[in-house]
Chains A and B, each alone.
Chain A
């Protein structure tokens, strides 16, 4: 047997022992998370695993419901006073875990904090880039001035969690990991943190929201898929997120368990290098260099898109946990265009297009992507490689952990790369993934292929500048449609996320993939 299996056997045996010695109290909830948590500091790194744990303790001014619709959070309401000024009315009577009152000063401090952390791997800069200044008008009114008209500010402020100014002033990430600065307004307060293993939380009884049913919550970090499933089956956990697709069928059949699932906001896509004459790893079938900029030809991008059998990936690789994609954002999300349909699988058509584009014998590429970030990412890479190879694009696969992969991307060593992106709105997604890269404006930070289309840029800018949501959505949809018809990148699918839990629990599946203990409901047999 192998090591991993032995560990999972050992942990199942351990769970059995726990079960025999003393069952967990009915008001406890134990959740298995899939992603590595690198820090508890909510402003250090904008990664989903970190934010999942942080959002139990901290809240933001604007919140989103399970369908990613914007709803009030710590701010009860907001409006644009003019094109550059937003006013947020803050909720009254909100208490931090230490009993002190939440005021506009805490919000001002929290909005400024992400950019003040030295050596932060970041991810929050784009959320506060538009902010010129944030000021407290009175204890419960916050005014934010933007550098340019910016309609997406309420969405952006959802990413900024509000910390207590009293406790977080002069606090570094280590003070959050130790618990000293872990003082928020959220439904749970910090009890104990064991890095790489678990975070223990206790209910915040003075929370302004509806009192959650769980007095104690344990968030366990179990990235290994089979181990997470085993921990649920053995009763060591009550809930797991990201149910491994291979185990889904058996868990659905198991009448002691319940599964809740939904199309996530995350779109899985392939970026194609469009800026270098000779992208790395791209060669002719004989190993000689190709003509300049092979991926700039729309015919080549169309051929690659037509070579991909999205239904086969959804059914055979993802076990149904995928919706074939033709949009930059998934169906529930602001700016989605239902009229866009995925290019049908047509290997013969793809070969013809390649021939027309001047590659009758295809060419060679190296496909690079993560093996620990998205659902079945490593299998998707191999399947895409197999499908491309069938139409003559001989594909070599390199799969590696996300951190190593991002390092390769930053060094510009990849030409065809797999990425997953989730966003509240099509215009925000376009700004990161498709806009012509411009570091000063924060455009195209994740546009690895450096696709450039001035028409898309203009529409996206107009959308983001609109404080009228109806007008903004129409513009965002138009920009999305244009970019997708031009295959700025090759969309593969929208991920379907699933949670598995004890049969007496219920969870409203979230489009944004977040797992929140306080949203699980008990006693629903």
Chain B
């Protein structure tokens, strides 16, 4: 009896509401599968696509389903160096998802701290931070990332840094807006009267209330970051050419498209597309669930 009266926990309510949408549920399942595949890439892949000694140039550009000279089968075909595309896609997914999630988390933390501080400080500090954010947001993110990589050089660590730089401003702006509203609420005044410290009020009281919109922004941003990483790799600014991620696989296969060897570009492209669509569907549903006004 008492259990029925007690308010259900917000998390449980949200997840119950989430699964009511079948498409979002399917996207969630797909995303989990992709994540598992990426995490288990080294166990699932028939070949280590980054170990040059395992590649055989005589197996280059074989069609999907062809037998490999080592006795296996190239289910999705092989690329111009005789690399098994299935393995390359699994490893590439690991890079894409890893780079996307890691850069988003760091940018989220950074933007959160800056946005909260800016909202609380107000005055000229707030104005200055927001002008910097405006400046940052007025440049296309691909341009900023390209400039950063051109200056800093190539490498996966630099790509992550570049992605953080182009993302933090979104979070800072979102958090600041939400925090300004929350800071005017009575519970903040109450906390101030209770004599709590500045940091405690910001992080224990205000932060939980600004999180829902941030989660939505972050989910969409992961997809954005993955697309950006793929673009940069496509342009040849990513990892070494012997360790192709999805973008570079697509770029390599592009040479063979007119020759009818579609699989080198198409399958990595499909993997990228599925990942981004799944994340966006999940993000959309999260926005609906977490936004009380839309319910």
Contacts and interface: CB of A to CB of B under 8 A. Distances in A.
Nearest to A388: B52
B36 interface: no
B241 A399 contact: yes
Q: Which of B57, B82, B231 has the most CB of A within 10 A?
A: B57
Contacts, number: 75
B260 interface: yes
A396 B242 contact: yes
Interface residues of A, number: 35
Contact of B60 (A230, A249, A316, A399): A316
Contact of A389 (B52, B257, B260): B52
A170 interface: no
A515 interface: no
Interface in B63-98: 80-82
A226 B240 contact: no
Interface stretch (B117-125, B248-256, B276-284): B248-256
A263 to B, nearest CB: 22
Contacts of A309: 57
A397 B154 CA distance: 13
B58 interface: yes
A397 B240 contact: yes
Q: Which of B55, B81, B242 has the most CB of A within 10 A?
A: B242
Interface string B210-230: 000000000000000000000
B234 interface: yes
Given A317-B60, A386-B57, A386-B81, A396 B240 contact: yes
A249 B258 contact: no
Contacts of B57: 309, 312-313, 316-317, 383, 386-387
B151 interface: no
Interface string A235-260: 00000000010110110000000000
B58 A312 contact: yes
A2 B241 CA distance: 19
A249 B259 CA distance: 8
A226 B254 contact: yes
A3 B234 CA distance: 10
Contacts of B240: 396-398
B53 interface: yes
Contacts of B60: 316-317
Given A2-B250, A317-B60, A246 B256 contact: yes
Contact of B81 (A225, A247, A382): A382
B261 A397 contact: no
B141 to A, nearest CB: 15
Interface string A198-237: 0000000000000000000000000001100110010000
A247 B259 contact: yes
Contacts of B53: 386, 389-390
Contacts of B258: 226, 229-230, 233, 246-247, 250
Given A2-B234, A317-B80, A397-B240, A386 B261 contact: no
Contacts of A378: 241
B254 A385 contact: no
A371 interface: yes
A4 B254 contact: yes
A382 B55 CA distance: 10
Contacts of A230: 258
Given A317-B57, A397-B240, A399-B241, A379 B259 contact: no
Contacts of A312: 57-58
Interface string A157-194: 00000000000000000000000000000000000000
A395 interface: yes
Contacts of A399: 241
Contacts of B55: 386
Given A226-B255, A230-B258, A385 B234 contact: no
A387 to B, nearest CB: 7
Contacts of B261: 246
A5 interface: yes
Contact of B259 (A246, A386, A397): A246
Contacts of A394: 52
Contacts of B254: 2, 4-5, 226
Given A249-B259, A313-B57, A385 B52 contact: yes
A404 to B, nearest CB: 11
A389 B242 CA distance: 12
A383 to B, nearest CB: 5
A249 B255 CA distance: 13
Contacts of B82: 316, 386
Nearest to A382: B81
Nearest to B260: A250
Given A396-B240, A397-B240, A398-B240, A383 B260 contact: no
A371 B236 contact: yes
Interface string A48-74: 000000000000000000000000000
B245 to A, nearest CB: 14
Contacts of A397: 240-242
B268 to A, nearest CB: 11
A230 B255 CA distance: 11
A385 B83 CA distance: 13
Q: Which of A2, A5, A249, A309 has the most CB of B within 10 A?
A: A2
B61 to A, nearest CB: 8
A229 B258 CA distance: 8
B80 to A, nearest CB: 6
Nearest to A395: B52
B52 A386 contact: yes
Contacts of A246: 255-256, 258-259, 261
B259 A225 contact: no
Contacts of B257: 5, 226
A272 to B, nearest CB: 19
12 contacts: A2-B231, A2-B251, A5-B254, A5-B257, A230-B258, A247-B259, A250-B260, A371-B241, A383-B57, A383-B81, A395-B52, A397-B241
Given A316-B58, A389-B53, 18 more contacts: A5-B254, A5-B257, A226-B254, A233-B258, A246-B256, A247-B258, A247-B259, A312-B57, A312-B58, A316-B82, A317-B60, A379-B81, A382-B242, A387-B57, A390-B52, A390-B53, A394-B52, A397-B242
The 4 A-B residue pairs whose C-beta atoms are closest, nearest first, are A389-B52, A386-B52, A246-B259, A316-B60
Interface of A: 2, 4-5, 225-226, 229-230, 233, 244, 246-247, 249-250, 309, 312-313, 316-317, 371, 378-379, 381-383, 385-387, 389-390, 394-399
